[in-house]
């Protein structure tokens, strides 16, 4: 996997997990709204090696706060991991440039 692929994968994952975090926040914010049906974000591998998000609305009218909290923790940690991978990539590139100079 090349450096560019690592960047694209990390950026794609950041966008996908950001969407997931927005969905979770929306579900929690609207949990007491009459007639609100929660949305779920399903993440899958994209054909280009990135991450794609598929949104679907639940038939269940109740928001499961425990599930939403777990989803939020997973999304937060996934965002942190992908940011760390971008930082590591940046450090590697910086080291390579320093070795050339």
Average pLDDT over residues 74-95: 91
Q: Which residues pair with 44 in a beta bridge?
A: 52
Q: What percent of the chain has pLDDT over 70?
A: 95
Any idea which of 67-71, 74-78, 85-89 has the lowest mean pLDDT? Answer: 85-89
Domains contained in the chain, number:
1
Average pLDDT over residues 84-89: 90
**Cα gap 23→74, rounded to integer Å:** 13
Per the prediction, the chain carries an average pLDDT of 89
**Cα gap 54→91, rounded to integer Å:** 33
Contact 17, 68 (CB under 8 A): no
Q: Domain of residue 66: give its range.
A: 3-100
Tokens found for residue 14: 């950041």
């Amino acid at each position: 996997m090349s450096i560019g692929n690592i960047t694209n994968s990390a950026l794609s994952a950041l966008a996908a997990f950001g969407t997931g975090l927005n969905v979770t926040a929306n579900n929690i914010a609207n949990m007491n709204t009459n007639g609100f049906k929660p949305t779920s974000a399903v993440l899958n591998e994209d054909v280009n090696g990135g991450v794609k998000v598929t949104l679907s609305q639940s038939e269940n009218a109740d928001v499961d706060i425990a599930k939403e909290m777990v989803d939020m923790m997973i999304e937060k940690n996934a965002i942190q991991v992908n940011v760390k991978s971008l930082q590591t990539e940046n450090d590697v590139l910086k080291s390579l440039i320093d070795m050339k100079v």
